[in-house]
Amino acid sequence: MAEPVRNYQTRAVPGAGVDAAIDQGLRAYMIKVYNLMGLGLLITGLAAVGTIMLATTTDPASAVATLPNGDMLTSFGYAIFGSPLKWLVIFAPLAAVIFLSFRVQSMSVSAAQTTFWVYAGLVGLSLSSIFLVYTTASISQTFFATAAAFGGLSLYGYTTKRDLSAFGSFLVMGLVGLIIAMVINIFLQSSALSFAVSAIGVLIFAGLTAYDTQNIKEMYFEGDETDVAGRKAIMGALRLYLDFINLFMFLLQFMGDRR
Q: What's the longest Cα–Cα distance across the chain?
A: 73
Alpha helices (runs of H) in the chain, residue ranges in sequence order: 16-55, 75-81, 85-103, 109-127, 130-133, 136-159, 165-188, 191-218, 226-255
Residue 20 has pLDDT above 90, yes or no: no
Please indicate, yes or no, whether the overall pTM of this predicted structure exceeds 0.85: yes
Q: Per-residue confidence at 24, pLDDT binned at 50, 70, 90?
A: confident
pLDDT digit string, tens, across residues 36-61: 999 999 999 999 999 999 999 999 98
Cα Rg of the chain, angstroms: 21
Q: Name the residue among 242, 217, 221, 236 with its Cα closest to residue 158.
A: 217
Residue 13: CB partners within 8 Å, gap ≥ 6?
A: 3, 5, 19, 22
Residue 124: CB partners within 8 Å, gap ≥ 6?
A: 43, 44, 45, 46, 47, 48, 50, 51
Residue 144: CB partners within 8 Å, gap ≥ 6?
A: none
Region of poorest pLDDT, from 12-21, 163-172, 215-224, 228-237: 12-21
Residue 98 has pLDDT above 70, yes or no: yes
**CA pair distance 148, 128, nearest whole angstrom:** 22
pLDDT of residue 10: 39
Q: Name the residue among 259, 252, 31 with its Cα closest to residue 144.
A: 252
Which residues pair with residue 65 across a beta bridge?
73
Q: Per-residue confidence at 21, pLDDT binned at 50, 70, 90?
A: low
pLDDT of residue 191: 86
Q: Name the residue among 214, 202, 221, 237 with its Cα closest to residue 165.
A: 214
CA 103 distance to own-chain centroid = 19
Q: Where are the domains of the chain?
A: 35-133, 136-259
